[in-house]
Amino acid sequence: MIDVIIIGAGPAGSSCAKRLAENGFSVKIYDRREELGVPVRCGEGLSETTEKLIGKIPDNCISQRTKGARVYAPNGKYLEAVLEYGGFVLNRRVFDKWLAEQAVKVGAEIQKNTLITDFIKEDGYYKGVKGEGFEEKAKMIVCATGAESALRKALNIFSKLNLIDSCLQYKMSGIDIDSDFIHIYVGNEIAPRGYIWVFPKGKDKANVGAGIIPGKRNAKYYLDKFVNDHQELKKGKIDLVEGGCVPVGGLLENMVDNGLLICGEAAHHVNPIHGGGIKEAIISGQLAADVIIECLKKGDVSKKALSKFNDLWWERRGKHLKRVEKLREVIEKLSDKDLNDLAEALRPEDIIEFSRGAKLSVLAKALMRKPSLIKLAKHLL
């Protein structure tokens, strides 16, 4: 019997598999897709700091290197945040394959084109997986399916999800943008409780997307409106339509059961303010592996033993993401006028600090610079 079965060869599953295999454990990843990384359900933006986790990302995984981000207030004024090391817009089609290869190189096995439909459960323990016409057992199961898997009902995770971003993205070409930056547009008319992104992928190409909290109108309405209102985009062509819903609220206290651990977007490990999940998935996959290694060495994969993952994840990421959730709540309440004022009050270095996870008090201090925002600042303290 192999040691660990992982369901899903995305960033969480592959990162987890690599670390397990490196440490001498036998790992098999099942993925439902014919081709890893396809279809893309992602804006593909990533900060440079991710390389600290997975090593240097090869050039062919990167569609565009950027200097940083421009965040546009409703009145069109923007704040430019230049990052020390810059950032990437990935090519997920290549990146996901590369990440999986890293795991295969150290001994993990991947079986594609295989949909896992259920678990094998015996004596209160998860003991394996079931697919069409086959079953396989392992000492331990990792669910890294992303959010769009019905398998997650095993842990009753659905009931914890309390906020989602509904997203639509056009892969556009023939457009005219400043490809040195990723571009973020906020405003209640532009994308209620969310934002529009333009992430460059070369000189005249970009991922142009809208992510909103579902309300009266759908993401397509806001995205089409935005593209129509911007000549530099309107003149281009939509090559591909992508979409998805991102779990941006509902962090889980518990992510384990006897013989089962859930990580990555499947466990809502997503940054609640921008919906980015690649880096969170990698961290959570690696942490999962660390805990599983320890548990397998002791021969104890009980819920109690695996719950160390809950402790570690909350210490390393959960606390921070909780703060980001609070920040999101405050920002969501802002009117367009507030947002315009905020853009004036903030300095570029503030934005960089927030993206790194600065304390809310830092934001509060920035808000204090603008009299109209003092009330808001008080909410944060």
Partner 1 sequence: MDWKIDNDICIKCGGCVSVCPFGALELKDNVLLNEELCNLCGICEKACPVSAIEVEK
Tokens representing 141?
């199961």
Q: Does 54 bind partner 1 (CB under 8 A)?
A: no
Using CB under 8 A as the binding rule, the residues of this chain from 198 to 237 that contact partner 1 are: 210, 214-215, 218-220
Query: Which residue in the set 52, 56, 159, 189 belongs to the binding site for partner 1 (CB under 8 A)?
Result: 159
Q: 105 to 124, contacts with partner 1 by CB under 8 A? A: 115
Question: Rounded to an integer, what is the distance from CA 341 to the centroid of its chain?
Answer: 29
Q: Which of 143, 49, 65, 54 is nearest to 98 (CA)?
A: 54
The residue from 99, 103, 129, 147 that contacts partner 1 (CB under 8 A) is 147
| Residue 366 binds partner 1, judged by CB under 8 A | no
Q: At what angle do helices 319-332 and 360-367 cross, to 10 degrees?
A: 30
Q: Which of 47, 149, 258, 271 binds partner 1 (CB under 8 A)?
A: 149
Rounded Cα gap, residues 134 and 137, in angstroms: 10
Axis crossing angle, helix 278-298 with helix 11-22, rounded to the nearest 10:
40
Helix (H, G, I), strand (E, B) or coil at 294: helix
Site for partner 1 in 290-349 (CB under 8 A): none
Interaction of residue 26 with partner 1, rule CB under 8 A:
no
Provide, rounded to whole angstroms, the least separation between the CB of residue 153 and partner 1.
3
Query: Taking CB under 8 A as the rule, does residue 1 contact partner 1?
Result: no
Q: Terminus-to-terminus CA distance in the chain, angstroms? A: 53
* Residue 130 interacts with partner 1 (CB under 8 A): yes or no: no
Provide the Cα torsion 46, 48, 53, 56; round to 10°.
Answer: 110
The two tokens of residue 228 are: 């129509």
Site for partner 1 contains 263 (CB under 8 A): no
- Binder among 53, 150, 374, 381 for partner 1 (CB under 8 A): 150
162 backbone dihedrals φ, ψ, rounded to 5°: -120, 0
Q: How far is the CB of 340 from partner 1 (least distance, A)?
A: 27
Q: Please, which residue, 241 or 374, has the CB nearer to partner 1?
A: 241
Sign of the CA dihedral with 69 first, then 74, 76, and 78 last: negative
Complex with partner 1: residue 153 or 359, whichever CB lies closer: 153
C-alpha distances (whole Å) from 110 to each of 2, 119, 201, 302 are 13, 18, 29, 26
- Out of 82, 104, 106, 161, point to the residue binding partner 1 (CB under 8 A): 161
Residues that bind partner 1 (CB under 8 A): 39, 41, 115, 146-150, 152-153, 158-159, 161, 164, 166-168, 210, 214-215, 218-220, 241-247
